[in-house]
Amino acid sequence: MKPVVFLRIASVLTLVHSVLHTVGGVFGKPVNAVAAGVAANMRTPFPLLGVTRSYSDFYMGMGLGVTIFLTMDAVLLWILASMARKDAARIRPLIAAFALGYLAFALNSYLFFFAFPIINELLIVVCLVAAIVTAKPLDSNEPIANNASM
């Protein structure tokens, strides 16, 4: 397969991660009475730096922040896939940065969350590494116009 395909798969996996993170993580309901009690305690407001917030506000804000960044990553990976059609080897450093970031994300998920995000993030890493491995420099004998179609 070509790096374009691997990057598109990584993009879709990232978008799925974003949607499921939002539905289950940010807007999900507590699964039992203990979790509901913790959530209720997190809604206790307190003053901080001139505003009144709660840990629930921080949880929601950071959760939505992760959603925003995951969605942005999905878009950027899709754009990189389009760029890879012309000269995939030149974008290897960008793909490598994403791969390292998602590897760190998977480690974070392993330490603090559960299997599904770990598996999804590792699949994204595999796709990104495969895109790096299959990325070849632009063939100087091949016209660019043949590679420009999306």
**3-class secondary structure, 106:** helix
The type of residue at 68 is I
Per residue of the chain (150 residues), what is the pLDDT tens digit?
Answer: 899 999 999 999 999 999 999 999 899 999 999 999 999 999 999 999 999 999 999 999 999 999 999 999 999 999 999 999 998 999 999 999 999 999 999 999 999 999 999 999 999 999 999 999 999 887 655 555 455 444
Query: Rounded to 5 degrees, what are φ and ψ at 131?
Result: -65, -40
How is the chain split into domains, by residue range?
Answer: 3-21+66-146
What DSSP character marks residue 24? I
β-sheet bridge partners, residue 8:
none
Alpha-carbon distance of 8 to 127, in angstroms, equals 9
